[in-house]
Structure 1
Amino acid sequence: MTINRRRRSRQKRKMVRLAMTALLAFGFGFYAGTGIGNPEGPTVAADEADVHIVKDGETLWDIARSVADARGQDIRETIYEIQINNGINEMDNLRPGQKITIR
């Protein structure tokens, strides 16, 4: 019985080592594979963006209204896009002379 126990113990250790080696190889391959092709990471293509300079008394709704009409969008979608693209919260007030990027 002792010999059989030793054999089983050795077999278990071999299986554990094999599994660990396979996981290590998979992890290394996955890590190395993420950088292949473009070592600098993803790039964003240059896009055409309009810059709107906020006038005194102008609101985000005023700015978004003409953009939404031209695109055939709901004005709420346009406002949301402008907020996201410019880091504007709902609580932020626009300032005269502030530059708003419209994409």
Structure 2
Amino acid sequence: MKRRTVLRWGMTIVMAFGAGFYAGTGIGNPEGPTVAADEADVHIVKDGETLWDIARSVADARGQDIRETIYEIQINNGINEVDSLRPGQKIIIR
């Protein structure tokens, strides 16, 4: 009976280690997964341009809700709701 319990604990530890190792392989890059250059567009902000202006054409082309597109642009570029865009700023659009 004791041998069976030890075997169960051993298998549990091995499985936990394996699951942790598998999950850990995707965490190696702290900035998240990278995207190939051909999958992203760079938009250079023009004077007076807003995030809504930039997202409008992208959302229309994708058939997305503009709010979803704005959120994606904010997340991909580290822009929060209080940040304002600056002329010449490069915005990554994925």
Normalising by structure 1, we get a TM-score of 0.66
How far apart are the structure 2 equivalents of 1:68 and 1:93? Answer: 20
Are 1:99 and 2:90 an aligned pair?
A: yes
Cα offset for 1:26? Answer: 1.4
Name the CA distance, whole Å, in 2 between partners of 1:33 and 1:91.
40
- State yes or no: 1:22 paired with 2:8: yes
CA RMSD between the two structures: 2.6
Closer/same/farther in 2, CA of residues 45 and 77 from structure 1, 3 Å limit:
closer
Counterparts in 2 of 1:1-103, with a 5 A limit? 15=2, 18-19=4-5, 21-32=7-18, 34-35=20-21, 41-42=25-26, 46=36, 48-103=39-94
5+ long unaligned stretches in structure 1: 1-13
Q: Which runs of 5+ in 2 are unaligned?
A: 27-32
Q: State the structure with bigger RCO (CA 8 A, min sep 6), 1 or 2.
A: 2
Structure with higher Rg: it is 1
TM-score by length of 2: 0.72
Report % sequence identity: 65
